[in-house]
Amino acid sequence: MAFVVLLVVLLLVDLLVVNRKAHVIKLREAAITSTIWISIGLAFTFVMWSAYGGEAAGEYIGAYLIEKSLSVDNVFVWAVILTHFKVEAQYQHRVLFWGIFGALVMRLGFIMAGVAVIEKFDFALVLFGLFLVWTAWGLIKEGDEEFDPESSRAMKLFHRIVPSTDKPDGQKLFTKVNGKRLATPLFAVIVLIELTDVLFAVDSVPAVLGVSREQFIAFSSNAMAILGLRALYFLLAGLREKFAYLQQGLAVILAFVGVKMLIAHWYHIPIAASLLVIVGILATSIAASLRSLRVKNNG
């Protein structure tokens, strides 16, 4: 309960104090805010350590790093959606706030359901492991395939069910046109962001449960990673081409966690070893991306 109160306070401070007025978030502000959020997420490791011990703290930071790294792909998809629907820069933070609020609620449900299934059915861990390995292969095979928001089934279904207009009306989610109440493109964007997060949760929640099956550790690591995504979006949205090998790195992480779940019945990989592997893969993929960028610029 105390953690939920903490989340509510952080969200309210972010919405009503830091970003009370709609404005364009520039790179410097995004960098400072992102640093603060990441610092809060990392500092929570010490809270876990003091309350539950070193093992719990290790599981938390491992799950946090996995969720944070997988969330980068989520950020790039958001960039495509917001650009496609021409959402004005000063309204993007408000859209992402409600998207993240919904994501927190959905992640809690996914994690509770996932833990319940694993505890009731032993073979579920194997199925989750196989799913993560299959997802990892899909990431490597698909490469940088572009996402088209307008042609997605979700958007087509949305326009079919919800009376809407393609003309924006500031930061309003609904507007009146010829006396009819219609959803604005901003509402459609929020719905699409929520739906894409469901798809990302299908990958990330099993990966986090591969590190810890404790509901509080799994949810707190997810929540702390998700809270800083708005700032990370404004920091990284235009930098996708600079992380050429990040997707391959994420695929390797998913495959590693999948294998860890598959062999858990016979051998438990220590959390310290898992942390070293995850950090090593992230560092390698980022270093390779930056090296590739330097070679491209010099060539």
Q: Has residue 266 got a pLDDT over 90?
A: no
pLDDT category of residue 79 using cuts at 50, 70 and 90:
confident
- Average pLDDT of the residues in 120-147: 75
What stretch of H or E contains 53?
Answer: none
How long, in residues, is the chain? Answer: 299
229-259 pLDDT, tens digit per residue, is 777 777 776 566 667 777 788 788 888 888 8
Average per-residue pLDDT for the chain: 79
pLDDT value for 74: 73
pLDDT category of residue 136 using cuts at 50, 70 and 90:
confident
Q: Are strands 174-177 and 180-183 parallel, antiparallel or unpaired?
A: antiparallel
- Separation CA 291–CA 299 (nearest Å): 12
pLDDT value for 177: 80
- Separation CA 48–CA 23 (nearest Å): 36
Which two structure tokens, joined as six digits, stand for 261?
């779940």
Q: Where are the beta strands (DSSP E) in the chain?
A: 174-177, 180-183
In three-state secondary structure terms, 164 is strand
pLDDT value for 60: 93
- Separation CA 18–CA 200 (nearest Å): 28
The fraction of the chain above a pLDDT of 90, given in percent, is 7
Instruction: Please say whether the beta carbons of 220 and 44 come within 8 A.
Output: yes
Domain boundaries along the sequence of the chain? 2-298
Cα-Cα end-to-end distance for the chain = 56
pTM (2 d.p.):
0.76
210-233 pLDDT, tens digit per residue, is 888 888 998 899 888 888 777 777
pLDDT category of residue 45 using cuts at 50, 70 and 90:
very high
- Separation CA 79–CA 75 (nearest Å): 6
Instruction: Give me the torsion for CA of 80, 85, 67, 258, rounded to 10°.
Output: -60
Which two structure tokens, joined as six digits, stand for 263?
């062999």
